[in-house]
Structure 1
Amino acid sequence: MAHPKLEHSTVISGLTASINGLENVQITDLYERYPDFNIDVQHEQEMLFGADIVVWLHPLYWYTGPPLLQQWIDLVLEYNWAYGHKGTYLKGKYLFNAISTGGSPEAYSATGHHGYPLKEFLLPYKQTAKLCNMKYLPPFQIAGTHNITREQLNHEINKFKALILHLRDSPNLSDLENLPFLNDFKQ
């Protein structure tokens, strides 16, 4: 999870709180763990190695993730560890983004304010997964966060928790590409 001002976030903090303490679910708050951006690469690689599914939970800032998430990707996903001829440690694992956006779903469309669908802004993450021989799942998005009601937010948080529980408890990971409740977002 990466949010530089988590104390001001009702969305990301709500999503995080909903899954905090679940068995076999680990949350790393990158900004809490690495406030100086000095990432313990070996520790992070060990955590990735033990995971089946990786979720990058973050707000979308200027069409990308927060800077510490990018620093984490740059350092942790090393050549010949995550990708390259010897980089097989993430092969077959699943990855997806769980994001919040201030803009509405309509704003992230070809005719919307941002001029492109959300999936185009997330292409670097999808390509990162591909380079690392991971399977990229459609993102979970909570949109329009500047105007979301408490009731709407609670509904989305419950959907996210249900998604995480389903992913955790799924006996057959090959079924994950067709999950119906990843906000019906198709790549």
Structure 2
Amino acid sequence: MDELVTKGSGKGPLVLAAHPDWRGSRANRRLLEAARAVPDAQVQDLYSLYPDFDIDVAAQQRLAQAASLIVLLHPIQWYSMPPLQKLWLDEVLAYGWAYGPGGDALQGKDLWLVTTTGGPESAYHPQGYNRYFFDAFLPPYEQTAALCGMRFLPPLVLHGARRASEEALAAHVQVFVERLRSYPDWPEIDELPPCPVCEVPTTDRPSHD
């Protein structure tokens, strides 16, 4: 569906923006607006595109396969992603397409998490109320990338987004834009290990659960 492509030729970063309430968003809304101004970025506002949660899987797969960088842009909700973003993973990253035998559509690409938290960074500490450092909540993202043969890039996180100063928020948005524009020319990318290989035996995916 051509109307899903909001900007660019299909070869730039694919930004999957997911927020259940953009009107109530302070930081993520600014990040979404900034992404839309980046040349060649494919920006998908999932909650606007699919308010009924009926994802056009074929269209989203075409966009994902055309991009070399897939960006997950969303707030952290209950230590994870908003439900429509999770549904996108469930339906778009299909067995035999994104992983498993014949599932090589995303191999060699990069996955980047750009997110915000309600609590301050100090809350993500063994002595804080979240009990763990923020990195402890990243393995599902990292393994999703690995299963699809993608590299998981260092996340861009704004803690305490609602209380962040205007200066801190503006600086965060600027870093996001500069990263989108300069990808893949990030100094740390050369130091990252190559995309992992996670082979899924056919015996682990029976036809019925």
TM-score by length of 2: 0.80
Corresponding residue number in structure 2 for 1:175: 190
Q: Please tell me whether residue 155 in structure 1 is matched to residue 182 in structure 2.
A: no
CA distance in structure 1 between the aligned counterparts of 2:81 and 2:112, rounded to whole angstroms: 13
SS at match of 1:106: helix
Aligned residues: 177
Q: Please tell me whether residue 140 in structure 1 is matched to residue 160 in structure 2.
A: no
Amino acid at match of 1:139: P
- Kindly indicate whether the alpha-carbon contact (under 8 Å) linking 1:81 and 1:89 is maintained by their aligned counterparts in 2: yes
Please report how far the alpha carbon of residue 112 of structure 1 lies from its aligned counterpart in structure 2 after TM superposition. 2.0
Amino acid at match of 1:175: D
TM-score by length of 1: 0.89
* Pairwise CA RMSD: 1.9
Identity %: 37
- Kindly indicate whether the alpha-carbon contact (under 8 Å) linking 1:167 and 1:176 is maintained by their aligned counterparts in 2: no
- Kindly indicate whether the alpha-carbon contact (under 8 Å) linking 1:104 and 1:143 is maintained by their aligned counterparts in 2: yes
- Kindly indicate whether the alpha-carbon contact (under 8 Å) linking 1:55 and 1:95 is maintained by their aligned counterparts in 2: yes
Please report how far the alpha carbon of residue 172 of structure 1 lies from its aligned counterpart in structure 2 after TM superposition. 9.5
CA distance in structure 2 between the aligned counterparts of 1:167 and 1:82, rounded to whole angstroms: 22
Q: 1:110 aligns with which of 126, 129, 140?
A: 126
* Runs of 4+ that moved beyond 3 A: 171-174
CA distance in structure 2 between the aligned counterparts of 1:145 and 1:63, rounded to whole angstroms: 15
CA distance in structure 1 between the aligned counterparts of 2:81 and 2:97, rounded to whole angstroms: 23
- Kindly indicate whether the alpha-carbon contact (under 8 Å) linking 2:27 and 2:162 is maintained by their aligned counterparts in 1: no
Q: Please tell me whether residue 10 in structure 1 is matched to residue 26 in structure 2.
A: yes
- Kindly indicate whether the alpha-carbon contact (under 8 Å) linking 2:107 and 2:150 is maintained by their aligned counterparts in 1: yes
CA distance in structure 1 between the aligned counterparts of 2:173 and 2:29, rounded to whole angstroms: 10
Amino acid at match of 2:130: H
